[in-house]
Amino acid sequence: MKSSYDVIVVGAGPSGSVAARRCAEGGLSVLLIEKRQEIGAPVRCAEAIGQDITRPYIDINPKWIDARIESYAVHNLEGEHVILPPTEPTLIVNRKVFDWELANLAARAGVDVVTRTQAEGLIKDDSGRVIGVRLISLGKRHEVLAKIVIAADGSESQVARWAGLKTVPPMSDYYVGFQYLMVGLGGKLKPTICEYHLGHSQAPHGYIWVFPKGEDCANVGIVIGADVADKATAQEYLDRFCDKHYPHASILGVVAGGIPITGALKHMVTDGVMAVGDAAHQADPLTAGGINLGMIGAEMAAEVAVKAIRTGDWSTRVLREYEHHWNHRFKRQHSALYQLRKMINRMSDDKISALVHTVSTLPIAEMSLGEVLIAVFRHHPLMLIQAQALIATGLILK
Ligand SMILES: Cc1cc2nc3c(=O)[nH]c(=O)nc-3n(C[C@H](O)[C@H](O)[C@H](O)COP(=O)(O)OP(=O)(O)OC[C@H]3O[C@@H](n4cnc5c(N)ncnc54)[C@H](O)[C@@H]3O)c2cc1C
C-alpha cells in the first residue's frame, strides 16, 4: 500500500472490483480495500445474475456457476403458477468464487488489493473537499491520499454518508432480507427454475424465492418491506414457508441483510467522491437484484473518474456526468419498476392470486407483453386505474 493513489475504492464486492479494475485499465493508480479478511465471504445474496449482462466484466466460467436457469415460476398463495421465460439467460453463481474472481481480475489489471482493511473516515482539506481515506489495515492505522474515493461499501455505506450524500432510505423503500441455504428439498426442487412466491400474508410487501443451486440444494429466502415488519420478522415468515414446503430439509447457511429499493440516489457524487452499487442504491427497485446493476454503475463511474483525473478536474460538476449516464440509461425503467412494486403493495392477496390465475390460463409463450396486459386489464378492469402511475412512465406499453 502506497501513501497516495489516483483512486481509492472502498469495498471489494462486485461493484468495487469492477470500478477499481476499470480505473486501472484507464491508466490510474488504484487501491481497493476490503474490511473482511476474505473477499466474497460471508455471502449475503441469493446469487442470481444475468449471463449476457455479466459477460463484459468476467468470462463466463463453470467454476463459479451453480445452476443455469431456463424459466421463472411465479406462484400465488393457492399454489397456481405462471411460467415466464427469463429476459436473458440467468445463472445462479457461487458468490464467494465470483467475487474473488472479480477482485483477482482487478489485481491483475494493476490494482493494489488489500483485505482486512477498513475505511474509518475520510480525509478532507480546509475547504471540505475529500482528499483521502483514514483506514485501519491489519491492525495498523494509515492515512492514504487520493484524488477520487469511490464508495463501493454496500447498502450500509458509511463512505457515502461521510461524504455528505443522502443515503438513508424511507422504511417503505427498504427490504429486510433473510435466507437459508437448504439441502434435502426432496423432489420439489426444479433445478432449472427460479421460483417466486407472492402474497402479503406470507411475505408482506415482498416475496419469497427458491433459487436452485444444483442437486437438491437451493437458496430459499424472503424479503419483506421494512415498514410492515412489525407483526413478525422476515425469519419468522420464512420459517412458516419452509415448515410448510420443506419440513425435512437441512440448513447449511443463513444470510440476513437489508437492501434499499429507492432507485439510485439523486446525488451519487460530490467533490472527489463517487458512490457505486448498493452504496448508491442502484439495485432494482422491484426485485432488489443489484449485482449486475452495480457492475454497470461501477463501470460508468470509472469512465468518468478516468476522464476527470486526466483533465485535472474532479469537482462535483465534472463527476456529475456519471449521474447523467446512469439516469439516461435507467431512470425511466427504474421508476416504472418502483411504481409496479407500489402497485403490488396496494393489492390484496385475493387480487394477486386472481392475477396469477388469469395469466396462468393465457398462452403467454405466444403473446407479446402488450397482449398479456390487455388480457389482464380485460379480466381486471379496475387494475387499469391502479396502473395509471405505471402507464405514465410510458414503459408499460412498450
Ligand atoms: C438476502 C439478499 C439476497 C440477494 N439476492 C440477490 C440476487 O439474487 N441477485 C442480485 O443481483 N442481487 C441480490 N442481492 C443484492 C446484492 O447482494 C447486492 O446488490 C450486491 O452485492 C451489491 O454489490 P456491491 O459491490 O455494491 O456491494 P457488496 O456486495 O455489499 O460489497 C460491499 C463490500 O464493501 C465492504 N465494506 C463495507 N464497509 C467497508 C469499509 N468501511 N471498509 C472496507 N470495506 C468495506 C463489505 O465488506 C463488502 O465486501 C441480494 C441481497 C440480499 C441481502
pLDDT in tens, 26-57: 999 999 999 999 999 888 899 999 999 999 99
Give the pLDDT score at 389.
Answer: 60
Tell me, in angstroms, the distance from the centre of ligand 1 to residue 13's CA: 6
Q: Hey, what's the torsion of the CAs at 352, 79, 73, 283, to 10 degrees?
A: 50
Which ligand 1 atom is the nearest neighbour of the CA of 221?
A: 1
Residue with the nearest Cα to atom 30 of ligand 1? 154
Pocket test for ligand 1, best of 9, 31, 35 (most atoms within 8 A of CB): 35
Rounded to two decimals, the pTM is 0.94
End-to-end Cα distance, the chain: 50
d(CA 95, CA 101): 9
209 has pLDDT over 80: yes
Shared domain for 48 and 132, answered yes or no, is yes
pLDDT digits (tens, 9 = 90+) for 292-314: 999 999 999 999 999 999 999 99
Shared domain for 135 and 54, answered yes or no, is yes
Q: Is the CB of 13 under 6 A from ligand 1?
A: yes
Q: Is the CB of 285 under 6 A from ligand 1?
A: no
Q: Is the CB of 116 under 6 A from ligand 1?
A: no
Tell me, in angstroms, the distance from the centre of ligand 1 to residue 44's CA: 7
- Cell representation of residue 73: 415460476
Q: Is the CB of 278 under 6 A from ligand 1?
A: yes
Residue with the nearest Cα to atom 53 of ligand 1? 257
Shared domain for 164 and 66, answered yes or no, is yes
Q: Is the CB of 33 under 6 A from ligand 1?
A: yes
Shared domain for 28 and 130, answered yes or no, is yes
Tell me, in angstroms, the distance from the centre of ligand 1 to residue 290's CA: 8
Provide the pLDDT confidence category of residue 387 given band limits of 50, 70 and 90. Answer: low
Domain-ending residue, one of 233, 260, 287: 260
Among residues 233, 225, 148, 199, the alpha carbon closest in space to that of 352 is found at 199
Q: What value does the mean pLDDT take over residues 201-226?
A: 96
- Residue 229, sorted as left (phi over 0), alpha (psi -120 to 50) or beta, turns out to be alpha
d(CA 238, CA 177): 10
Q: What value does the mean pLDDT take over residues 161-189?
A: 94
Which ligand 1 atom is the nearest neighbour of the CA of 259?
A: 53
Shared domain for 106 and 133, answered yes or no, is yes
Pocket test for ligand 1, best of 45, 57, 141 (most atoms within 8 A of CB): 45
Number of domains in the chain: 3
398 has pLDDT over 60: no
321 membership: H or E segment, kind and range: helix 316-326
pLDDT digits (tens, 9 = 90+) for 88-116: 899 999 999 999 999 999 999 999 999 99
- Is 77 inside any structural domain? no
Q: Are 225 and 172 in contact (CB under 8 A)?
A: yes
How do 273-275 and 140-151 pair as beta strands?
Answer: parallel
Provide the pLDDT confidence category of residue 396 given band limits of 50, 70 and 90. Answer: low
The CATH code of the domain that includes 214 is 3.30.9.10
Q: What value does the mean pLDDT take over residues 322-327?
A: 98
- Is 302 inside any structural domain? yes
- Cell representation of residue 77: 398463495
Tell me, in angstroms, the distance from the centre of ligand 1 to residue 306's CA: 24
Tell me, in angstroms, the distance from the centre of ligand 1 to residue 381's CA: 40
Among residues 262, 237, 246, 108, the alpha carbon closest in space to that of 186 is found at 246
Quickly count: other Cβ atoms within 10 Å of residue 144's Cβ.
22
Residue with more model confidence, 263 or 214:
263
Q: Kindly tell me the sign of the dihedral angle through the C-alpha atoms of 25, 26, 27, 29.
A: negative
- Is 76 inside any structural domain? no
369 has pLDDT over 80: no
304 membership: H or E segment, kind and range: helix 291-311
Tell me, in angstroms, the distance from the centre of ligand 1 to residue 154's CA: 5
d(CA 20, CA 12): 9
pLDDT digits (tens, 9 = 90+) for 124-173: 999 999 999 999 999 999 999 999 999 999 999 999 999 999 999 999 99
Q: What value does the mean pLDDT take over residues 5-29?
A: 98
d(CA 223, CA 179): 9
Residue with more model confidence, 224 or 365:
224
Q: Among all chains, which residue has been given the C-alpha cell 431456463? A: 70
- Cell representation of residue 139: 491492525
Pocket test for ligand 1, best of 22, 38, 44, 112 (most atoms within 8 A of CB): 44
d(CA 199, CA 240): 13
397 has pLDDT over 60: no
392 has pLDDT over 70: no
Percent of the residues in the chain that have a pLDDT greater than 70, as a whole number: 95
d(CA 166, CA 160): 8
Domain-ending residue, one of 260, 286, 313: 260
Provide the pLDDT confidence category of residue 385 given band limits of 50, 70 and 90. Answer: low
- Is 397 inside any structural domain? no
Domain extent at residue 368: 338-392
Q: Is the CB of 245 under 6 A from ligand 1?
A: no
Q: Is the CB of 257 under 6 A from ligand 1?
A: yes
Q: Among all chains, which residue has been given the C-alpha cell 463484459? A: 56
Quote the mean pLDDT of the chain: 93
- In three-state form (DSSP H/G/I as H, E/B as E, the rest C), the secondary structure along 363-380 is CHHHCCHHHHHHHHHHHC
Q: What value does the mean pLDDT take over residues 170-193?
A: 93
Q: Cα-atom radius of gyration of the chain, to the nearest Å?
A: 22
Shared domain for 251 and 269, answered yes or no, is no
d(CA 147, CA 130): 8
